[in-house]
């Protein structure tokens, strides 16, 4: 057998490192206010009408571009066609995640967004968390087994190296379609042991799991759920500034992901 040329071992090593390297990242975001700073940060461009991958009628919007060896697609469910507000909540998030997985075949999903936080569990305004677990808190089906289906608790894809390297807080996330919190929601959120409360995460996780796509959840705290101020007021007050913290954390995560394999996360 001929000895390898001087280049060959280098190539082989590079190939080994490259084997299974993450190349396509899908960022799923619920609100335009949360999405635009990341669009700017990664210098993404909005998909033109003639390169739209989504079917006619879908308000879903896609931005895309290359960044440090990754192809990034950022999608958000867009504005409601009739009312003109962001299409927040589980149904829209599930739909755009599903369509994007099928059409873009991402290696990794990052669901980034704002969330309510529980100070009793250590959350403060502007904190950025990675969610270790997700569950729903507004799907009560008091029939055996259906009850577990409704709650839909699942562990998210584990990323011990991201947690260690970026020094992010870790907590459980509970998802529901209301911005406020009813007493029934609160009971379930407590039983879900959630530090964070959002309106999309568990739905994104459900769809990602169905199609075996690793998904991580980066959530920045805009309002303290167990605090004094009304959620809607506090949410709107902090949305812009907390979005900057979110933006910074997503940038760090993507920088970490660049050149890595899924198993390196």
Contact status: 242 vs its own copies (CB under 8 A): no
Contact window for its own copies (CB under 8 A) among 88-96, 158-166, 190-198, 247-255: 88-96
Which one among 102, 161, 191, 241 touches its own copies, defined by CB under 8 A?
Answer: 102
Residues in contact with its own copies, total (CB under 8 A)?
Answer: 50
What CA–CA distance (Å, rounded) separates 49 from 60?
12
Cβ proximity of 128 and 252 under 8 Å: no
Contact status: 14 vs its own copies (CB under 8 A): no
Quick one: which of 215, 223, 218, 222 has its CA closest to 243? 222
Contact status: 23 vs its own copies (CB under 8 A): no
Are β-strands 108-117 and 196-198 bridged in parallel, bridged antiparallel, or unpaired?
A: antiparallel
| 234 three-class SS | helix
Q: Using CA of residue 114, residue 193, residue 252, residue 91, what is the dihedral sign?
A: negative
Contact status: 232 vs its own copies (CB under 8 A): yes
Contact window for its own copies (CB under 8 A) among 19-27, 201-209, 240-248, 253-261: 201-209
Q: How far is CA 132 from the centre of its chain?
A: 12
Contact status: 136 vs its own copies (CB under 8 A): yes
Cβ proximity of 195 and 129 under 8 Å: yes
Contact status: 142 vs its own copies (CB under 8 A): yes
Contact status: 207 vs its own copies (CB under 8 A): yes
Contact status: 59 vs its own copies (CB under 8 A): yes
Which one among 13, 85, 170, 240 touches its own copies, defined by CB under 8 A?
Answer: 85
Which one among 16, 48, 49, 145 touches its own copies, defined by CB under 8 A?
Answer: 145
Return the structure tokens found at 55: 């079917």
- The angle at the Cα of 23, spanning 20 to 26, to the nearest 5 degrees, equals 125
* Min separation Cβ 14 and its own copies, Å: 32
Contact status: 240 vs its own copies (CB under 8 A): no
* Min separation Cβ 98 and its own copies, Å: 6
34 is catalytic: yes
Report H helices in the chain.
7-18, 32-41, 90-104, 146-151, 160-166, 183-191, 201-210, 231-257
Which one among 143, 160, 167, 263 touches its own copies, defined by CB under 8 A?
Answer: 143
32-46 in b/e form (b: 16+ CB < 10 A) is eebbbbbbeebebee
133 is catalytic: no
Footprint of its own copies (CB under 8 A): 55-59, 80-81, 83-91, 94-95, 98-99, 102, 136, 138-143, 145-146, 148-150, 176-180, 182-184, 203, 206-207, 210-212, 232, 235-236
Give the active site residues: 34, 223
């Amino acid at each position: 057998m001929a000895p390898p040329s001087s280049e060959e071992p280098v190539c082989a090593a590079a190939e080994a490192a490259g084997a299974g390297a993450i190349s396509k990242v899908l960022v799923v975001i619920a609100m335009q206010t949360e999405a635009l700073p990341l669009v700017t940060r990664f210098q993404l461009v909005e998909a033109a009408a003639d390169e739209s991958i989504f079917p006619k009628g879908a308000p879903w919007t896609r931005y895309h571009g290359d960044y440090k060896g990754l192809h990034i697609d950022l999608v958000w469910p867009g504005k409601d066609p009739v009312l003109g507000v962001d299409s927040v909540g589980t149904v829209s998030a599930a739909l755009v995640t599903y369509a994007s997985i099928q059409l873009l075949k991402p290696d990794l999903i990052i669901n980034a967004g704002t969330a309510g936080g529980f100070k009793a569990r250590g959350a403060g305004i502007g904190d950025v968390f990675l969610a270790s677990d997700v569950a729903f808190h507004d799907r009560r089906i008091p029939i055996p087994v259906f009850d577990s289906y409704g709650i839909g608790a699942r562990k998210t894809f584990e990323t011990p190296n991201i947690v260690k390297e970026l020094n992010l807080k870790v907590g459980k996330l509970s998802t529901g379609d209301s911005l406020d919190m009813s007493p029934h929601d609160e009971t379930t959120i407590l039983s879900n042991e959630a530090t964070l409360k959002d309106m999309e995460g568990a739905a994104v996780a459900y769809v990602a799991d169905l199609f075996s796509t690793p998904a991580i959840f980066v959530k920045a705290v805009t309002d303290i759920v167990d605090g004094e101020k009304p959620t809607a007021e506090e949410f709107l007050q902090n949305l812009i500034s907390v979005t900057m913290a979110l933006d910074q954390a997503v940038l760090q995560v993507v920088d970490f992901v660049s050149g890595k394999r899924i198993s390196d996360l």
